[in-house]
Amino acid sequence: MRHFLSERDLTADEFRSIVNRGSEFRRMWEANEPHALFPNSTVAMIFDMSSTRTRLSFEAGITQLGGKAINLSRSETQMGRGESIEDTARVLSQMVDLVLMRTASHESIEQFASMCTVPVMNGLTDLLHPCQMLADMQAYFDHRGDIKDKTVAWIGDGNNVCNSYINIADLLGFKLRIACPVEFQPDSNVLERGKSNTTVMQDVTAACEGADLVVTDVWSSMGKEDEQEQRKRAFADYCVTSELMALAAEDALFMHCLPAHRGEEVTAEVIDGPQSVVWEEAGNRMHAQKALMEFLLNNR
Ligand code: CP
Ligand code: NVA
């Protein structure tokens, strides 16, 4: 039985095969080919924080696989009244086939998974956003082929999505240049483990020079709302503009996990421009996660 709490829970071959299977699911969905491979499977989804894409993509995805999703927010369950994560995990394990969890602290999902006898999937924590990486790589592979030996520029906050990029740079063998303010660097443990493929700098132009993929995310992630004003000042020079994109490779792609703030981390011209694949990236969430669920269900 396998969990998917971090990109590093998969081998590089497994990661690539899930990404490729995601592309196949997308093609089947576009051709209206049914793929209800897991009738009667149930996914419990626990959301401690807001979500549009993650919730919708898992719910629609398991429906297409022939199963069903049950949404549980902490406040509506006994967890909101103090029932422990461990006890909840034991109960859920008796009733559902998979659990998806979005929670502020990465330790909570690890604690939950340690007591859960069905696969647990990470739908974002303060540390990582691994499902997003499957969708991003599906978009990259579909447009440009394998990302091995390519260069990716990350512009902005060293946040959960950035940490996940460090993990997959190591796993899939690409170079990652992160441009971020010194006080908003990625997690030091993640960085230490991924240091052979990742360089951190403050110069956005040096990070973008010749890059094959340029990625950014919001300046203030969920849970950082009270730092918004300080962050706006610190990140003022960390905006992906057309001038910055012009420094990247001619065929460079632009990605953003969304939701986006036009005029902050990216200009409207870039996110709504020809190099941006953000809508396909978002749509891929559903197909990549169907491939993930298939992998986890088959490995029970
Ligand atoms: N990208 C992403 O995870 O979006 P949501 O917060 O809407 O789920
Ligand atoms: N870094 C963002 C990603 C949202 C999908 C956040 O954690 O809010």
Domains assigned to the chain: 7-128+284-298 (3.40.50.1370), 132-281 (3.40.50.1370)
Active site residue 132: yes
Q: Is the pLDDT reported for residue 73 higher than 90?
A: no
> Helices 106-115 and 85-93: crossing angle, nearest 10°?
50
Query: Under DSSP, is residue 121 helix (H, G, I), strand (E, B) or coil?
Result: strand
Q: Name the percent of the chain lying above pLDDT 70.
A: 100
Closest CA to 261 of 225, 226, 208, 216: 216
How many angstroms is it from 221 CA to the middle of ligand 2? 5
For position 206, what pLDDT does the model report?
98
CB atoms within 10 A of CB 233: 9
For position 155, what pLDDT does the model report?
98
Q: pLDDT band at 75, cuts 50/70/90?
A: confident
Ligand 2 interacting residues, C-beta cut-off 6 A: 124, 159-161, 217-218, 221-222, 257
**What is residue 185's DSSP assignment?**
P
For position 288, what pLDDT does the model report?
99
**Distance in angstroms (rounded) separating the CA atoms of residues 111 and 224:** 23
How does pLDDT run across 140-160, given as a tens digit for each residue? 999 999 999 999 999 999 999
In sequence order, the β-bridge partners of residue 201 are: 179
Protein residue closest via CA to atom 7 of ligand 1: 52
Q: Is the pLDDT reported for residue 20 higher than 90?
A: yes
How many angstroms is it from 72 CA to the middle of ligand 2? 20
Active site residue 217: yes
Q: Quick check: 174 and 147 in contact, CB under 8 A?
A: yes
The answer to whether the CB of 52 is under 6 A from ligand 1 is: yes
Q: Is the pLDDT reported for residue 118 higher than 90?
A: yes
Average predicted confidence (pLDDT) for the chain: 98
Q: Quick check: 138 and 26 in contact, CB under 8 A?
A: yes
Protein residue closest via CA to atom 1 of ligand 2: 221
Active site residue 285: yes
Query: Under DSSP, is residue 169 helix (H, G, I), strand (E, B) or coil?
Result: helix
Active site residue 35: no
**Distance in angstroms (rounded) separating the CA atoms of residues 163 and 36:** 34
Question: Which of 76 and 269 is assigned the larger pLDDT?
Answer: 269
Q: For 111, what's the count of Cα atoms within 13 Å in the CB-facing half-sphere?
A: 12
- Type and span of the H or E element at 269: helix 268-271
Protein residue closest via CA to atom 7 of ligand 2: 221
How does pLDDT run across 236-272, given as a tens digit for each residue? 999 999 999 999 999 999 999 999 999 999 999 999 9
How many angstroms is it from 217 CA to the middle of ligand 2? 7
In the numeric block, the tokens 């979005």 are attached to 102
Q: Is the pLDDT reported for residue 281 higher than 90?
A: yes
Question: How many degrees, rounded to 5, is the angle at CA 195 between CA 194 and CA 199?
Answer: 115
- Type and span of the H or E element at 72: strand 68-73
Q: Quick check: 117 and 1 in contact, CB under 8 A?
A: yes
How many angstroms is it from 130 CA to the middle of ligand 2? 12
Protein residue closest via CA to atom 3 of ligand 1: 54
Predicted TM-score (pTM) of the model is 0.98
For position 74, what pLDDT does the model report?
82
Query: Under DSSP, is residue 180 helix (H, G, I), strand (E, B) or coil?
Result: coil
How does pLDDT run across 162-202, given as a tens digit for each residue? 999 999 999 999 999 999 999 999 999 999 999 999 999 99
Question: How many degrees, rounded to 5, is the angle at CA 275 between CA 274 and CA 277?
Answer: 100
The answer to whether the CB of 257 is under 6 A from ligand 1 is: yes
Segment 200-226 shows an average pLDDT of 98
**Distance in angstroms (rounded) separating the CA atoms of residues 232 and 131:** 27
Q: Is the pLDDT reported for residue 76 higher than 90?
A: no
